Every structure is written in C-alpha cells, then in structure tokens.
Structure 1
Amino acid sequence: MKSSYNLFLFVLLLFSGCKSAKQPILISDISQNSKKILQYWYQKDYDQDGNPGISLDKWYAQNKNKPKSKNITVAVIDTQIDKNHEDLKDNIWINPKEIVNNGIDDDHNGYIDDINGWNFTGTKNGGYIVWGNFEYVRFVRMWNPLFKNKIENEIPVKDLPNYKEYLRAEKILKEKTIYYKNLLKITKHCMVTYSLAKDSLKHYFPKEDYTYQELDSMYKKHKINNKTFGQRSDDKDTDFGTLIDGMMVNFEVNQKDFKQINENATQSDSVVNKNLNLNYNERISIGDNPDFLEKGYGTNNISINKEGYRNIQNHSTEVSGIIAANRNNNIGIKGIAENAKIMPLCISFSGDEHDKDITMAIRYAVDNGAKIINMSFGKEFSLHKEWVFEAFKYAEEHNVLLVHCAGNNGFNVDENPYYPSDNSFNGTKEVCNNFINVGSISSRLDSTFVSTFSNYGKQNVDLFAPGEEIYTTSTGNNTYVSDSGTSLAGPMVSGTAALIWSYYPNLTATEVKQIILDSGTAYDLEVIVPDTTDKKVPFSELSKSGKVLNVYNAMQMAEKVSKHKS
C-alpha cells in the first residue's frame, strides 16, 4: 500500500455498512455459475451435495405431501423493512385487531394504528432516527457526574462494577474519537485532492480510462524523479505524485467518483459529531423519557419506501427474506418457513440500539403473538441490561424463543461482553433458557470453515449456521443481494424454529431450543480461531453444541419429541 489513507478509508467503508460483515455483492455483478452457488449453497445437504448447508431442500423434497402447516409469527427486531418487496409483501404480519389509520388504539395494546408492527425510533415530527450514540458514549455520559476523574478507592463498593465498565467505556471513547477525527481529516483531504488529481491525469489519459496498474507505474517513475515526494506536508498536497497516490487509494477502496468520496466524508463527520459526541442525544427527537419503560412512543411507520431511505431498510429486509420469503411464487428466493409471518419492530439505526427499545420491542412481540424473536444486532456495552433480562424472562414465561446473532467482532464472547445476551458476564448463571446465540460458518470445508468475522465461545455461542455469501431479499425495486454476517446466520435458526412450531405446536420454547442444538451436524475439522491468524482448534470447541444447524434433523427430532408428549 502506498499511504496511510488506505487503512482509514477501508475501515470507513466497512463501518458505513449497516450491520453486516461486508458490503453486499450485487447478484447482477457475478457470473451465472457463481450465482447458483451464492443462491443455494446454504440450503443444501452435506451428504447429498457436499455443501455444509442446513439440509432445507432435503426436508422439503421428502415432505411435499405433508399437511399444510399453521402460520407462525416471527418478530424481527431490526431496522425498517421494505414491506412491499415481491418476496415479502404477502408474509408481513397484520394486526387483526387494529383498524387502519383511524388514529385510535383499537386493540388497547398501547400503540396507535400498529397495523404491521412498530417503529420505536420514530420521531415526534414523523421522521426517524438515522444516527445515534454508541452505547459506550451513553455509558460515559450517564456516569460522568459520579466517576469522572475519580480513582477506585474513592468509589463506593456498590458502584464498583459500573465504575469498571465506565473506565472501559471511557478508554474506548477516547481511542475512537482520536481515530475518527483523523479519519475525518483524511476524507476531507480526499475531497480536495480528487478533483485536482482527475484534472491533472486528463493530460495523460484524455478518456479517463486509466487503471490502477498504470497509476502505480506513473507513481513509481515520479518518486524516482522527485526524491522529496512523499513527505505529506501541506505544501506537498498538490504535488503530482501525491495526487496519483490519492487516486490510487480511491481505486483500492472502490471510490470511483466525487459523490462517493463526499458520502464517505459525510459518514465520518456523522461518526465524530453524532455517534461519538457526548453532547448529542438522539433521544430528544423521539420525545420519550429514556430513563423509564413506557409504551406508545415512536410511530407505526415500519417501512419508508422511497429513494434515499432504502439503506435504512436493507438489513431487516435481508434478515426477513431468509426466514419467510415466499416459497410458492416462483420468483426470487425461498424462505425457510413456508407459513411464517414477519412482525417488523424497528429499533436499529447507525449507532447502538437502546436497551429501552430492545426491551419494549420484545414485550410488544410477546404481547402481540410472536412465537420467535429474531435479534440480528449487538453491542459491547449495555446501559440497562436488567431491563432486557426481565424482557427475556417475560418471553420465557410466555413460551417465546429468542434468537440472537453472535456478532461480527471476531472475538470470544466468553471473555468479551456482547449484548443482548442471556449472560450478565459477572459469573452468574444464564438468566433464561429460551435464548439461542448463533455464529457464522462459510461453505468452505477447511480451516476457514468458521467465518473470520464471527464471534465464538464454548459457553455463550450455542451453535453455528451459514452466514457467508447468503443470497436474500434486498430493498429497492424487488432486488436481491449476496451478503455476509452473523446477522444472516441468526435468521436461519429463527426460520427453522418457525418451521418446527408450524407442525409441532405442542413443543415448548425450551424444547425447540434443545432440538435445534442437539440435531445439528457435527464436523470433524480443525479450524482457525477467528481472532487469530493461524491458531487452530477443533470446530466443536467454538460453540456449546459444537454443531451446525440442520433443518432436516431438527424436524425429525421434533416429530419424535412431539409424539412422545402426545
């Protein structure tokens, strides 16, 4: 690499993606052969096809004449959703007790006109939150009055756990603020030099058809002829070699025009002035009291379907397609559960989700008939985890299964807190028995079987499911993408739970969880631990079950357990 720009801008591009591990691949941009692999590998069966998929096709192929299953509601707690997508529109949950847009809470559930779900990030003026703080920023802001500039022996014993978390949060905030302020300077510099570089290169390439290799060759010649180049001082910003270098950076991070560079500068500016800003509080525009649990704040708009808003919907749309895309319309993809209905509950934006919104969304889902709650989001701090724990227990009491993605940090969640979780990370036992945490695997049956981005943990990750190059629904004009992340592994489990319950409704949430864990496929592989370069361990050591989700096995086991109960 030629300059320090590369790393900064590459990280920025990764950061600007919603929650996935990397930017989606447009299916139109890849070969026909690759399309088939991306579209279908995760549904295949290892014994039949040689792909470490979830054996979904195998089950459906052998159960074509099975009696029609019953509808199961799956709450997707996530971003907004494209509810008009061709593969989802018939499978969006409809509240049967609510009259459309009459301004009345017809079913008396505390939410007015909640026809298809609820947006907990809706604002008083009818908009929605786009940018919000990271949780460690909120943590520092909350505890600054008590802990700022204090040492440990000045802190009451009862406050020591929060004090230690405060110090951890404060350290991260300082590090990230320095990093992103430097990044902001760099992206602004790119904006200035891009036009200069483009104009200067026109002399050599009138059609602007230069390649990276041609720029690299020109850069090397300039460096030989001008030994002072590369000092990066202000008076060198317009040096021709520096301009070439900047244009090469744009190639390396796939920034091909000024609009994209400007968008990246806007992103980094928002990180500094919103995500990391102690004085910025997105809660003000919502108009609720963030210190208390309450119903009714937010709006009923779960799908702002217009240009410029679609990236806000994409994550939930991808997740929901895996669970419930129409299996019978002969277009797009086939979701896992044939009769699943998606209940969209919006709490996510660019930043960390609020524990209040997580809590109220879980309670809404339980109170309004969801059997499974998919949570493809996460964060390293939790300001009010006691609220979330109570919501988990509430779901358990009402026989509702919770499915969570393990996260894309590439670290061990037995050692590094990651929320929401059924673990308080203080040495106490799990708070409930209805929570499944899901890591991601690839289609590669080798040492890279576990996705490099996936979190793992022998105690706190329950099993793995496919999460790389997953073909699913996307926002805007009925599109589809291939994307990666534990966010896409989680809904594999949610869809499987919906399929199980649609045929075997007498099972409890705890039984469904155990069936999914016990019926998975074991792989005898030595795999690279995600947060290392070459450390290998048996695949079975990276999760509690040591297995990969298997729909076929789960359905067979569910049938046996259900019959035994009857």
Structure 2
Amino acid sequence: MFFKKCVFRLLCLYTFGLFGAFQSQAQSSQWFHLDAKTDSVLGISTDRTYRELLSNRKPTPVVVAVIDGGIDSTHEDLKRILWTNPKEIPGNGIDDDKNGYVDDVHGWNFIGAKDGRNVQYETAEVTRQYARLRPLYEGKKRASLKPAQQKEFDQFVKYKTEVEKKRAEYQEQYQSYSTFSSQLVTIIDGLKKALNVSKLDTATLRNPATDNDFVKKAAAALYEMTSAQGFGQAEDIQSELKRGLDDLKAKAEYAYNPDYESRSIVGDKPDDVNETAYGNPDITGPDPLHGTHVAGIIGADRTNNLGVQGVADQVRIMAVRAVPDGDERDKDVANAIRYAVNNGAQIINMSFGKDVSPQRKAVDDAMRYALSKGVLLIHAAGNDNKLLDTTASFPSDRFIDGSAIPNLITVGAITSKNNEGLVASFSNYGRKTVDVFAPGAAIYSTTPSNGYDNLSGTSMAAPVVTGIAAVLKSYFPKLTYSDLKRIIEKSAIVQNRQVLRPESNDLVDFKDLSKTGAIVNLYEAVKLAEAEEAASAAKKG
C-alpha cells in the first residue's frame, strides 16, 4: 500500500512541475559544440571551427584564470591543461618567485588556512550584514534612534526580514523534497524487487517483464519521468535529487543562518581589504564540483580521447579558489582578480555573483587593475530569472561611478531548444546589462574524481564564452581585450524570434533580453578575426 501511495505522490509532484527544481535537462552529448547549419542545434560550432578554419593555423598557449570553488587537479581531462607556475618549486614551503604566496604551483586558495583547513560553507552576504547589525539594533524602536542611525536601522530590518524569510523557505523546501526523495527510493527499490533487476534503465522501464498491472503503471510513470529529463536510468534521478537536496540543506543550515560563522578558519581580518597574505595553495578544496565543471567547459583536453572536449585547445587553467558554498566575500574576489592578473592570466572566468556588495570598491579597484593590464573578465549573469536592468547584482557591469566596465562581458544562458523555450528559465537577462547569451543548460563536462556530468546555469554559459575568447587569443595573439570583446559580440548570431521570458509564460523578443540580442558563435568569431586580420595586412601592404 505504501508503495502505491509513493507512486501516486511521485506522479502528483511530477505533474505539477515540482521536480523541475532539480531538472538538469540531462543529455550525454556536448550539444554546445554543435552547429546550427550542420547539426540543427544552436551550439557555438566548435568542431566545425577547428575542422574548417583553424586546421592550418598554429596556436599559442593562453592563460585563463578560473575564480571559483576549486578544481580537481588530478582529473584525467584537466591535469595536462593546468597552469603551472614556472618559478615555484612544489612543496618546499618557500615563496620561490616572491609573489607573496608559498607553493602556488597551480594557483591559490583565498578561503583556506595556512594549516591546510578550508572554508566549504559560507553565509549569504545579506546574512552577514544582518549579523553585523543585529547587536546594534535588535529590540530597538526606530523612533528612539538618532536620525543618523535610522537609515542603518532600516537596513537592519530589511536584512532581517529577508534572512528569516529565505531560511524558512529553504527549510520547508528541504523537508518537502527530503520526503519526496525517500519515497522515490522506495518506488525504485520496489520496482527493482518486483522486476528482479539491479538497475532500472529506460529499456527496462519501457518494457517491464511483468504481468502485474500496477507494476506496469509504476514503471511507465518512472519511465516518463526518466526519459523526459533525458536520463538513462531511474537511479540518475536519485543522484540529481541528492545534489538538489544538498544545495537546499546548505542554504537552510548555513547560508541564511546568522549564527553560523566559518571565516575564523582562514585566520585573516575579513574586513581588511588591503590584506593579501592569507590562504593556502590547495586549489581543490572540499567540494570542487562547480570549478571542475567550469574548467572542463573552457579547456578539457581535446587530444587525449577521454571524456569530453573543452572549447579551447591551447589553454592553461589557473585555479583561484575564492567562492565557497554560499556568497563569496568581496575581499577574496578582489585578491583573486589581482592574483590572476599578476601571475599572467589574460582572461578571467567569474561564474559567481550575489545581491549585496559591502566592499564593492575593492572589487571595482581590482577590475580597474585588470583593465589597466589588458585582461578580459567574463562574468555569469546569474540564475534568479531577474531583469538585471532594475535589480542589483554583483559584480556589477558598471563601476561605482556609473561608467561601463570595458573589459567585462556578462553572459546569459540558453538551452538546446530551438523554439520558444530557447532561453533558460533560470537565466537573468537585461537589455542594458547582459551582453550576450551562450549555451548554459545541460552542459556535459568534467566533475571530480574523473567524472562527467550535466550541470546547468549561467555559470556554465560564461565559460563557453571564456573558451571562445581563449581560442581567439590563442590563434590571433595580437588581439587585445577590447578586440576580443568586440569580435565576440559583433560575431554573435542575432535571434529574430519570440521566446519565453525566464520563469514566465510571456513571449518577448529575444533581442530585448540582452545588449546584442544574440548568441555567441565560435565559427563566426574566428571568421571575423580572420577578416580583420586580412584587412589589416592589406592596409599595411
């Protein structure tokens, strides 16, 4: 009887779309490499580009920094392409190159301690601000405060309301999906037993070897769910649910918990933005899933016939760990950018962001520093299905003084659907704030321990663009950061079509969702770079 109740609840949750919270639109192929003309998929034409345009050109290695949560440096598809500090002797405990960081062989970790410990979970920035103001204003009445304090009191009330609301929401969601997950396990185990199989792949679910009508119906329901998500077996749904549950738990227990504090591990002064000598050389950290996936999109080894292929074939990935499970700190982001620039990165991928930035000037100054050194920054637009033109999000696309950041590209995400569902439902957007769109849903790439999996997010779209920038810089080394940005945006393919605005049923012009109204394309970018190179040569000749 309980098995039947679980099946009924599973069907109800699926019918009402609640399972979509964990949906990855999984598929095994790297669709983002495909070509609209030859494959009828709005990928970036990677394979076609190498085959038709780059086969006779000689590339040079390009250093790309990935500021993220860590990278699995032992991954079979990444270890060959990691940046290695040529002046640092591994493991000798000495700052050989005198750059301020001991044993930074493949990069640096700004959220680690000198004793080797690491920050994994962090609070949201809004939670940190609430915790900062709580001792000053908890229990106070606005009318009793001096006018100078009332503005800060209003911030305190705003932060408190948001933190308490979000914590309650995530706790409720966690409980709900925990129940769903346990019931799904019961269904899967029950079907395995009834069908006498060790796993429930789609072939088994589609044609179950049984005469039991209920088991047939249960198998059909699970088959529908499994195949609709693009999974090969029902157990994949369990893995996806676990990942989602872990994320919900982290938000409920840590991100919006004002009493949680992990920064003491690092041993620095968190509010001192001028402090740089902290951290450790552990570029992997306790959970390198996100950063490993991002690194693979940019440059997973294209020569070893293993796993997947990245966009760029001559890239050296510099790992800079500054993004925990929770909101990154402005101080760490600023130091990460400066470290990358000072150690030779020509392009920096930044797949992170948050809603509040108390030390914004430090990040602004670091981005200005990158600009002065000619380094291109590529940033994920965010996954809150928000209009960024009217919503604060950091790092911003503008400096504090309101001027545009000329060396920054902000990237939204598309799916593989060549229809009105083209724009990813989670993607942020904005005609004034988002530059381009790129593939970001069901992106198959590297994961820790020599794994491979699909992940979705603008975090995946940004490294697609970073990979394009790296290819251009590698095969056309004279291109400056401004050339790279201009070529990427100018060559992006404009979409004259109606699409669903993220997380709504409203049809809008795709062109209204970003500055270019276009999707990046490596083939077109290389063609444009070639044309400009030829024109320049002709002019000189």
Shorter-normalised TM range = 0.7 to 0.9
- Alignment CA distance shift 1:435-1:502 (3 Å): same
The question of whether the paired residues in 2 share the 8 Å contact of 1:111 and 1:295 is answered with no
Alpha-carbon shift at residue 66 of structure 1 (Å): 2.4
Is 1:288 the equivalent of 2:281? Answer: no
Task: Report SS of the residue matched to 1:455.
Answer: coil
2:492 aligns with 520
Aligned AA (1:463): V
1:71 aligns with 61
- Alignment CA distance shift 1:11-1:381 (3 Å): farther
2:457 aligns with 485
Is 1:315 the equivalent of 2:290? Answer: yes
Alpha-carbon shift at residue 108 of structure 1 (Å): 1.1
Which residues of structure 1 form unaligned runs of 5+?
A: 15-20, 26-33, 219-250
Task: Report SS of the residue matched to 1:338.
Answer: coil
Of residues 280, 305, 327 in structure 2, which corresponds to 1:299? Answer: 280
Is 1:451 the equivalent of 2:432? Answer: no
2:209 aligns with none
Task: Report SS of the residue matched to 1:118.
Answer: strand
Of residues 250, 256, 261 in structure 2, which corresponds to 1:276? Answer: 256
1:496 aligns with 468
If the length of structure 1 is used for normalisation, what is the TM-score?
0.78
Alpha-carbon shift at residue 369 of structure 1 (Å): 0.3
- Alignment CA distance shift 1:399-1:158 (3 Å): farther
Task: Report SS of the residue matched to 1:69.
Answer: coil
RMSD between aligned residues: 3.8
Of residues 85, 95, 117 in structure 1, which corresponds to 2:75? Answer: 85
Is 1:95 the equivalent of 2:85? Answer: yes
1:221 aligns with none
The question of whether the paired residues in 1 share the 8 Å contact of 2:382 and 2:428 is answered with yes
Alpha-carbon shift at residue 275 of structure 1 (Å): 2.1
- Alignment CA distance shift 1:269-1:59 (3 Å): closer
Aligned AA (2:56): K
CA distance in 1, matches of 2:215, 2:129: 46
The question of whether the paired residues in 2 share the 8 Å contact of 1:6 and 1:252 is answered with no
Question: Bigger shift: 382-391 or 359-368?
Answer: 382-391
Matched pairs, number: 498
Q: Deviations over 1:152-172 (max 9, x none)?
A: 995757995x66655443221
Question: Bigger shift: 133-142 or 397-406?
Answer: 133-142
Alpha-carbon shift at residue 430 of structure 1 (Å): 3.5
1:359 aligns with 334
- Alignment CA distance shift 1:12-1:381 (3 Å): farther
CA distance in 2, matches of 1:402, 1:24: 28
Is 1:142 the equivalent of 2:161? Answer: no
Alpha-carbon shift at residue 145 of structure 1 (Å): 4.9
Is 1:133 the equivalent of 2:103? Answer: no
The question of whether the paired residues in 2 share the 8 Å contact of 1:6 and 1:253 is answered with no
2:368 aligns with 393
If the length of structure 2 is used for normalisation, what is the TM-score?
0.81
- Alignment CA distance shift 1:350-1:6 (3 Å): farther
The question of whether the paired residues in 1 share the 8 Å contact of 2:13 and 2:19 is answered with no
Q: Deviations over 1:423-451 (max 9, x none)?
A: 36x8x524521111101111212111111
Alpha-carbon shift at residue 502 of structure 1 (Å): 1.3
- Alignment CA distance shift 1:158-1:562 (3 Å): farther
1:464 aligns with 437
Question: Bigger shift: 486-495 or 148-157?
Answer: 148-157
Task: Report SS of the residue matched to 1:341.
Answer: strand
1:236 aligns with none
Describe how 1:542-561 pairs up with structure 2 within 5 A: 542-561=513-532
The question of whether the paired residues in 2 share the 8 Å contact of 1:527 and 1:536 is answered with yes
Describe how 1:283-432 pairs up with structure 2 within 5 A: 283-293=263-273, 294-303=275-284, 309=286, 312-423=287-398, 429-432=402-405
Task: Report SS of the residue matched to 1:497.
Answer: helix
Which residues of structure 2 form unaligned runs of 5+?
A: 1-7, 206-212, 219-233
Alpha-carbon shift at residue 255 of structure 1 (Å): 5.5
The question of whether the paired residues in 2 share the 8 Å contact of 1:506 and 1:562 is answered with no
Describe how 1:33-44 pairs up with structure 2 within 5 A: 35=28, 38-39=29-30, 41-44=31-34
